Structure 1
């Protein structure tokens, strides 16, 4: 099992994702002889998990069943233990696209936090890329380093416990992209520029407040960055509902020629059922602002 490679069968030592239904997920460290308690009863790792295919249904001791899924960055984002506020898939997808990440890319990140974005970056840059991630808090840095090892991606990442605003990323002139998720990103812009390769590169800053965005844009401009572009990503989910439209009157024999399903769906042979979507009236989905910029080629 690895977060960047797929295996068919569950093995001892894997981190599996157990789906409990109703969008409820929990991570499980698979260990020989261990058990995991769920609301449907116990899951016995030796007999119920190890050797079974990922995606299998597992019957618990109380008779209910769960589904065991292979870990992915998206599933990990939903069920990871929160040590900080995290980024979710809507923002993560935009970040990986706008930073132009690909296999082999070298990325610098600060702060690491709970590792939600880190796992998505690692999958994107595998198998030959590398992530240099900086976390100010010592315990969080140690914990995320343990998780990278458990998830078998530690060969793709270097975790540093330091203050990026004072000490930088610990590397210079190697990064294709830099990501900042810290309270004062404008103080780290010069270090981001130093970490990027000479031929250019992209930088992204995530900030919840527009005042932070303004200061960051000023710092990026002062350091010579170009194409400075703040944006906000909002998820807009449309509701699907049925509507009834009256059938046109083409005479007494017209309805006999319509589809049988339409006849069944049309009350009193006067209307037909169609599905349509309606946008939400409100979108209470602000997470933060993403500010992108490009280092000019030198």
Structure 2
């Protein structure tokens, strides 16, 4: 196992230092990753923020601009990093990532293989799951993507937990020196069936494989290939439905035809018998929950399988 460099150990309990990566939070849908650099400034609609004012503060601090506006300085956790990273490829999001880590049975100390790396969204969460003594070996056939991912892991303090390799896993398979060492393997490839035999050789006894595919046709062919060496083959589709909660009057909710909580409420109006006066009917304020109008589809299918015992 690779030695751990204590100077690069992942920790968000310490104070922010010059050179750290922070997530600047303006609002839930507006965040950005910024490297702290003494002498630099951040300019946005809230004013000018000096990086020098950030040094020495704890992650989660509220900092003010020259105009009195403010932002929050958050730690680059895997969840936040997934929301702000550069999309070099399609990425996995939190619902899929949490499901993958659970069903691959990844715990601290595990050795995990991944192909391909892509934007590194899943890799970041895998690294935290295996910390502090585990390791993730991730491979991408595209050299520049691998270089960019390696730079990102340096920024987020995960370089001691992740090794990035440039390799065509579909054509060459995983490196022989990792044979029989992996607790789990994750594949995000257009033709996963080409890499499944190699993945089986990498796994320890009772190890688990997961293949991510956007199309059900890929799932069928991959599952057929798995049957020779794997058992307990299962495929899942993760659909996430978000609810919003707010306090308001019942009529406000009934008036939102589009289902959006941000739309203007339509108030019921009733005319009197004379037809000259308009009366608005309102109910008492209440807290209600309702699904968001925008239903997001799945990112793909997750197929899991366990390596057959040799006995």
- The reply to whether TM is greater than 0.5 is yes
1:182 matched to 2:194? no
1:120 matched to 2:132? no
Choose between structure 1 and 2: higher helix proportion: 1
Q: 1:146 to 1:103 in 2, by over 3 A?
A: same
1:13 offset after TM fit, Å? Answer: 1.3
1:169 offset after TM fit, Å? Answer: 2.2
1:55 offset after TM fit, Å? Answer: 1.2
In the alignment, what sits opposite 2:105? 100
In the alignment, what sits opposite 1:130? 135
Q: Distance in 1 between matches of 2:9 and 2:72?
A: 18
In the alignment, what sits opposite 2:94? 89
Q: How does 1:195-206 map to 2 (within 5 A)?
A: 195-197=202-204, 199-206=205-212
Segment drifting more, 20-29 vs 68-77:
20-29
Provide the alpha-carbon RMSD of the alignment.
Answer: 2.2
Q: SS at 2:227's partner residue?
A: helix
Q: Is the 8 A contact 2:219 2:301 kept in 1?
A: yes
1:233 matched to 2:245? no
Q: 1:282 to 1:28 in 2, by over 3 A?
A: closer
Q: SS at 1:200's partner residue?
A: strand
Q: How does 1:1-298 map to 2 (within 5 A)?
A: 4-46=10-52, 48-170=53-175, 171-197=178-204, 199-222=205-228, 224-240=229-245, 275-279=287-291, 283-298=295-310
Q: Give the alignment's TM-score, normalised by structure 1.
A: 0.84
In the alignment, what sits opposite 1:248? none
Q: Distance in 1 between matches of 2:293 and 2:69?
A: 39
Name stretches of at least 5 consecutive residues in structure 1 with no aligned partner: 245-270
Name stretches of at least 5 consecutive residues in structure 2 with no aligned partner: 1-6, 251-282
Output one character per residue of 1:40-98: Cα deviation in whole Å (capped at 9) or x when no partner: 2222111x211112111111233311110111000000011111111100100000000
Number of residue pairs the alignment of both structures matches: 270
Q: Give the alignment's TM-score, normalised by structure 2.
A: 0.81
Q: Distance in 2 between matches of 1:25 and 1:111?
A: 26
